[in-house]
Each structure stands twice: as C-alpha cells, then as structure tokens.
Amino acid sequence: MLKNKLSDDEKSSLISVLSHTISTNKTTLQKASFAATNDPPEAFRHDFRTVEKILSLKKEKYDEDKSIHRKPKGKVLLLLSYNEPLLMSVDPVFSALAAGNEVFVRASSAATEVLETIWKPAYASLPWLNERLTLLGPDHSIVTETIPHMNAVYLFGSQHVATLIASQCAKHLVEFWPETEGADFAVYTPSATITPHEFAVHLAAEAVTHSGQICQRLQGAFVHRGLLAQVYEHMITLCSQQKNLVKPNLLQRNMRDAYDKLAESEPNLKYMQGSSANSLSIVTGITAFSPLCQQAFFLPAIWLIPYESEEELLSYIASRPIQFGCNLWTEDTKLIQGIAQHSRLTRITLNTEHTPIRNEEGWGGAQPTSFGGYMGWNDKFTNAYTIISN
C-alpha cells in the first residue's frame, strides 16, 4: 500500500533531526567526505553551507502545486555515488521520503560512512522512520536482489553503471531514472564582456575546481576562431603557473586510469602542455566529435575547439550525447535563445561563474534525465494523477 507524503509535523521533525545530526557530527562528516573524495576542507565547508540552506528551503518551499494531484512512486531505490557524499546523502533521500515513498538507499562503499552518520541517529529520534527508510549494505549483490521489488530506481553515477542498472530494471519492468556524469563546457564569443585573458583565467580556475567531480566542472570551451589564438596564448601562460592552479588533493585519485581511458579513445592525441597528475593540460587540434570533447574524463585537461558561425556552434552542441550545462559568455540575445532552444541543456550560466550551485536551482541534473537540476525532485519521486467526474 502506498504511504502518504510526510505531514508538516513529520517533515519539520525530520529536518530538525537532520540539522542537529549534521551539525554535531561535522568533524566526522568532513573526515568521511575527504576519505571518499580527497576534496580539500574549503570544498566541504561549501557543501556544508549548501546542505544547511537546502534543509531551510525544504522547510519553506517543498510543498507542490496544490492544483496537481500527486502520489508517491511507492518503493524506490536510490543508488548514490561517492561524488558529493554530503549533498547526496541529504537532498534526494529527504525528498524521496517527504514525497511519501518507502526509500531504500545504497551508497558506494566510499560514501557509506557519510550516509550512516547522517541517517542512523534519526532512527532513534523518529520511530516512524524505521518503516520508511532502509539503508542497504555496500555489497553489490544486494542491488540486484532489491531491484525486482522496487517501483522506481534512481542512480547517481557513471554511464557504465547506468547501463548495467538499466538492463536489470528493464528485465523486471522497473522505472529507471539515471543521472550520469557529463562534463560541462564554455562558449566564448566576440560579444563577450570579458577579455581573452580574463576568460582564460576563468576557464582554468573552473576546469580544476571539480576535477574528479565532473557534473559541474568545465572540461573545455568552444571559442570563436577569431579569438582562439589569444585565448590559447593566455592558457599557455597560465600553464607555466600551474602550481597556482592545480592542487594534488583536488585531483581524482584514479587519474592514471582516466589518462589510460583517454589514450585508448584518442590513440593519436598529443598533449600540448603537460599531462601529469599535477599539471594542467591544454588540448587543441581535435574536433567537436572526438571522444575527449564528447565524453567526460576525470582530468585537469581543457580542450579548445574553434567555431566559425552560430550554425556550426549549435551543431557541435547538439552532437554531444550527454548534455547538462553550458557556461556562455555573450551579449548576443539571438545566440542565447538558439542555444537554449536547440539543445537539451538544462543549465546555462550566462556571463558569470558556472561551478557554484545556487540554492534556488537544486543540485544535480546531468542527462539523460536531468531530474535533479531544476528543483524537480517532487515531480520525479511522485506520479501525477487525474480524477474526472461529471
């Protein structure tokens, strides 16, 4: 039987318990997050503040449009990656519960400690939670055993894992919502209000900010051909200052595997500037259809690809199999509308920083479903229905 969504009192009490647990276990969560991601303290502090604001927004803005009738999916399975363990352990889990679902959560082994630190204390404080939330162990076999009994499965992870889970869900006719990795890109146009040097500094900084956390990171840029030489020259200068750009503890621990994957995909690729774990690589001479441009790699590498016309740029963007975000630098209204209308992008940052997530926009959102990128949790954790009468 489907459960009702959480009452206002249940929702309020859950938010209070989570806020208290996260606050009192801040040090433990920071250590566990670092063990999972190798992110520096400042990255955790940013995530911690974001989680606090998310819980505050849940208290004020969660209720859905009263004109739309919705009911919970039923039994749902959330598969969480190690990426952003603090945010992932709070936002989707809370939202699935608040919508009235019976929630089963399986985090990657690296993120299990964060998940349990946040939610296990809530069991003692909120007895009703025992019937609504089950934390599954890290054993892979438990996922296969659980899927046939679910009404919907939600994955935050790699395309490879998404493919495996999709086959399991299809076999048992279980609804599947994957959010897979897909590195974002920038576009630099002649009407941009910043100089080529300023754009190069911006691109370099944002490209390494989330190395290893790629769903928001800029992996490259489409640059108007008339500006490419200037941007490239400034990027080369920045590479000579690479120690100020890249910190080893910001980089993905399995970077060597990523370079091997790239070498396999691009056997003729030559790195223009650096290719070591502690350097920033600038890659040119590839096309918009090359694997490096089309796929996501956990690397401090930036590709620069020229375009001549708006039509050519739109064709490059449309060809990307995974589309989420674009960092656009232009004053051309026609181009802005063209990119928004002729792509599957769900997040466009215009003439501003791209990596930081604004509190009002939610978190997540990579293709193919983009279900976390526009505060759409309630829609995706519930089903709409209509009652028709004479």
pLDDT tens across the length of the chain (390 residues): 456 678 888 989 999 999 999 999 999 999 998 888 777 787 788 788 888 888 887 776 544 445 567 889 999 999 998 877 888 899 889 989 998 999 999 999 889 999 999 999 999 899 999 999 999 988 889 999 999 999 999 998 877 888 899 999 999 999 998 877 667 899 999 999 999 999 999 988 877 665 334 455 788 999 999 999 999 999 888 776 654 444 434 344 445 556 666 666 665 554 444 444 446 678 888 899 988 888 777 666 788 999 999 999 999 999 988 777 899 999 999 999 999 998 888 788 899 988 766 655 544 444 444 444 444 566 788 888 877 776
Q: What 3-state class would DSSP assign to 342? A: coil
Q: Top-level CATH class of 8-181+366-385?
A: alpha beta
Is the Cα dihedral 127, 128, 133, 134 positive or negative? positive
Copy the structure tokens of residue 157.
Answer: 């992870």
pLDDT at 333: 94
**Domain limits, the chain:** 8-181+366-385, 184-361
Q: What share of the chain is helix, strand, coil (3-state, %, to 5)?
A: 45, 15, 35
Question: Cα–Cα distance between 86 and 51 in angstroms, integer?
Answer: 8
pLDDT at 370: 44
Q: Which fold would CATH assign to domain 184-361?
A: Aldehyde Dehydrogenase; Chain A, domain 2 (3.40.309)
Model confidence, pTM: 0.74
Q: What 3-state class would DSSP assign to 278? A: coil
Core vs surface per residue 47-56: b (16+ CB within 10 A) or e: bbebbeebbe
Residue 78 phi/psi, 5-degree rounding, is: -105, 125
pLDDT at 321: 81
